Amino acid sequence: YRREKGALVKDELRSAVAQRRRRLLVVTNETVASETLRQVICLTGRDTEVLVVAPALTSRVAFWSSADAQARRDAEKRLVLCLAALHACEVEARGTVGDANPLLAIEDALCEFPADEIVLATHPEGRSNWLARNIVTRARARFAQPVHHLIVDAASDSKPHQTTKSRTRGHLSRSRQSA
């Protein structure tokens, strides 16, 4: 009887693990309300739980003076638009305004939302402060989860460039997805 009961418990645990939804942490700046980001997240399917973090983008002066109320309001407005679009395509998503530093925003979010993967959405190189500060590379070095980089170009928002790096395979691949 004990063996049978123990086997039953193990089977239940395996089933619970197999049924656990994938958890995706999305960290995005002004790109949060983009159609590209919405489409990519909607492709993850209904079996994915999503937390969208929109860092409150402030100037260095505003950050140090704690005058970031307007930046938080702006991030909240962008976040509301993104979440409404995700809910429209039946993605279970919630969101929060995060720290202006995207690495700290990720760290804070992971304390409450143990993500399986992280997506960083940025503007293209040349227009992205996060790329200029090597945020994607630094996130990959800092966090154990796979970090995927989605480049959102507002000029061609319907055709995203997605750059991903897998820690297990150790290679960098670029692919172009169409809407």
Query: What does 68-132 look like in DSSP terms, one character per residue?
Result: -HHHHHHHHHHHHHHHHHHHHTT-EEEEEEE-SSHHHHHHHHHHHS--SEEEEEEPPTTT-HHHH
Backbone phi and psi for residue 153, each to the nearest 5 degrees, phi listed first: -100, 110
Average pLDDT, the chain: 76
C-alpha dihedral sign at 70, 78, 160, 109? positive
148 contacts 162 by C-beta, under 8 angstroms: yes
Query: How large a percentage of the chain has pLDDT more than 90?
Result: 35
Phi-psi label, residue 157: left if phi above 0, alpha if psi -120 to 50, beta otherwise: alpha
Highest mean pLDDT among 35-44, 50-59, 66-75, 99-108: 99-108
Report the C-alpha gap between 76 and 56 in whole angstroms.
Answer: 8
Please compute the mean of the pLDDT values over residues 54-81 and round it to a whole number: 75
In the 8-state DSSP scheme, what is residue 173? E
Q: Write down the pTM of the prediction.
A: 0.73
